[in-house]
């Protein structure tokens, strides 16, 4: 018979390894007993930064990913370069590890197909580490929507426009072919799209994209991708979602959802997530008895507010928390492989659309083999490292394969040399 002591004994922590000591630092520091995790290993090719991080966290370090995967651990968190996640995830799954992947799940449709198959074969938990759905504002909007406050979604808007000073962008993109210098703005769509999908639980069926090729924005940098875009997604209930980003002047993190019974939004303002309020309103003929026409308020965290607030960056605490809970319960998180690959593929298909003057492209149902199979060899990609995967790879701008300005490249090379970067 089990003793009371055995019944109340804490579960063993989930042993986690993180790849990428730059972008992965928040995941490494968040892998604590507060979320039921223990950091045991780090992996990166930047030896100096890796050594510093290994000493700081007192964990094993690896520059070889295959050796890293041999470490005794349960899960891997990927925080490597934006367009390189899928191959690393597939290897980790084959090694019997659960996987959480930051930013994009897949950089090509073929990767999306392969990744879905790998997750299904492994039986392991996979989660997209998209933190924006976990802000207190989006969690409150999800609660309101689930309670029927605004009815069924008809239209929604999401904006993640994050301009940076030209020098700041040069500082974080060392190398002519760094992914930040080539990424089309449609690809970084999950910060804006994921909250809307999590609030409404709708999936995209069709995508139209238009790109904004304002070269002036990048005149002092090495970037050759367009700085802005607008994406229209037709969802599986007929609703339309509009997505806007990425680097155009005028910071904007904002979401709005219209439904059959009302609407709600994050209020706009100068801070990172506006003034920090949720606004809900209803037309007079749709109001329930006693329901106010409009209310604006600061929402509370649904739980663990102290931990979430200390973690910073909107909802950074919740990704580790949700990943750990999904592993323990064996219940897939909302941001599972199918939602993650669908969101990531919207960015790819929107770029195809932008290069075709906004023509519509259908989003495969990655849950179904017959829907995803036609894309298993679709290696279409604008990133230089993917140039040999397929003939006639696309440009990163609707203006074609543009070149950085002379002044931009001179500034970039001077900055990169000072950082110790010796490549092109």
Using one digit for the tens of pLDDT, what is the confidence trace for 255-272?
A: 999 999 999 999 987 665
Report the share of the chain in percent with pLDDT over 70: 93
Q: Cβ(359)–Cβ(76) under 8 Å?
A: no
pLDDT at residue 201 is higher than 70:
yes
Q: Are the beta carbons of 232 and 244 closer than 8 angstroms?
A: no
Tens-digit pLDDT profile for residues 56-107: 999 999 999 999 999 999 999 999 999 999 999 999 999 999 999 998 999 9
Tell me the per-residue pLDDT of 139-155, one tens digit each, with 9 for 90 and over: 999 999 999 999 999 99
Query: For residue 107, what are its two tokens?
Result: 């950089």
Q: Could you give the C-alpha distances from 378 to 109, 196, 374, in angstroms and in order?
A: 6, 27, 8
Calculate mean pLDDT across residues 164-181.
95
Helix (H, G, I), strand (E, B) or coil at 51: helix
DSSP state of 70: T
Confidence of residue 3 (pLDDT cuts 50, 70, 90): very low
The per-residue pLDDT for 188 is: 96
3 state SS of 103: coil
CA distances for 165 relative to 65, 169, 220, 247, 408, angstroms: 34, 7, 10, 10, 13
d(CA 267, CA 29): 31
Residue 344 near residue 104 (C-beta atoms within 8 A) = yes
**Confidence (pTM):** 0.94
Contact 41, 26 (CB under 8 A): no
- Judged against a pLDDT cut of 60, whether residue 179 lies above it is answered with yes
Domains of the chain: 11-128 (3.40.50.720), 132-308+337-386 (3.30.360.10)
Q: Residue 419: which region, alpha, beta or left (left: phi > 0; alpha: psi -120 to 50)? A: alpha
pLDDT class of 4 with cuts at 50, 70, 90: very low
Whether 308 has a pLDDT exceeding 80, the answer reads: no
Q: How far apart are CA 311 and CA 110, in angstroms?
A: 35
DSSP string, 192-228: HHHHHHHHH---EEEEEEEEE--GGGGTTS---S-SE
Question: φ and ψ at 338, to 5 degrees?
Answer: -75, -40
């Amino acid at each position: 018979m089990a003793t009371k002591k055995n019944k109340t004994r804490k579960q063993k922590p989930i042993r986690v390894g993180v790849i990428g000591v730059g972008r992965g630092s928040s995941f490494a520091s968040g892998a604590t007993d507060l979320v039921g995790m223990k950091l045991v290993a780090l992996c990166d090719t930047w030896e100096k930064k890796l050594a510093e991080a290994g000493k700081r966290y007192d964990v094993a370090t690896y520059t070889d990913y295959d050796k890293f995967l041999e470490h005794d651990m349960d899960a891997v968190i990927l925080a490597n370069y934006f367009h390189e996640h899928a191959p690393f995830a597939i290897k980790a799954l084959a090694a019997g590890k659960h996987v959480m992947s930051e930013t994009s799940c897949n950089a090509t449709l073929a990767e999306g197909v392969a990744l879905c198959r790998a997750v299904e074969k492994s039986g392991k938990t996979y989660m997209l580490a998209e933190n924006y759905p976990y802000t207190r504002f989006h969690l409150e909007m999800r609660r309101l929507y689930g309670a029927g406050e605004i009815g069924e979604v008809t239209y929604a808007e999401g904006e993640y426009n994050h301009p940076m000073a030209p020098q700041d962008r040069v500082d974080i993109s060392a190398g002519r072919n760094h992914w930040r210098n080539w990424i089309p703005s449609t690809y970084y769509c999950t910060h804006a799209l994921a909250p809307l999908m999590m609030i409404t639980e709708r999936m995209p069926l069709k995508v139209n994209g238009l790109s904004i090729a304002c070269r002036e924005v990048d005149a002092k940098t090495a970037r050759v991708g367009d700085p802005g875009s607008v994406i229209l997604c037709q969802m599986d209930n007929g609703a339309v979602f509009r997505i806007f980003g990425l680097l155009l002047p005028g910071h904007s993190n904002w979401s709005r959802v219209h439904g059959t019974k009302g609407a709600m939004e994050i209020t706009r303002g100068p801070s990172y997530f506006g003034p920090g309020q949720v606004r809900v309103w209803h037309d007079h003929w749709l109001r329930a008895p006693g329901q106010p026409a409009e209310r604006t308020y600061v929402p509370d965290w649904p739980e663990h507010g102290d931990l979430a607030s200390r973690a910073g960056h909107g909802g950074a605490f919740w990704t580790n928390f949700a990943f750990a809970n999904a592993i323990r319960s064996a219940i897939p998180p909302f941001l599972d492989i199918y939602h993650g690959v669908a969101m990531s593929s919207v960015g790819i298909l929107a770029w195809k659309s932008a290069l075709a003057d906004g023509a519509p492209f259908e989003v495969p149902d990655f849950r179904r083999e017959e829907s995803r199979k036609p894309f298993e060899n679709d290696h279409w990609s604008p990133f230089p490292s993917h140039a040999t995967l397929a003939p006639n790879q696309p440009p990163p701008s609707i203006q074609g394969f543009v070149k950085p300005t002379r002044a931009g490249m001179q500034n970039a090379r001077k900055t990169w040399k000072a950082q110790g970067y010796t490549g092109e």
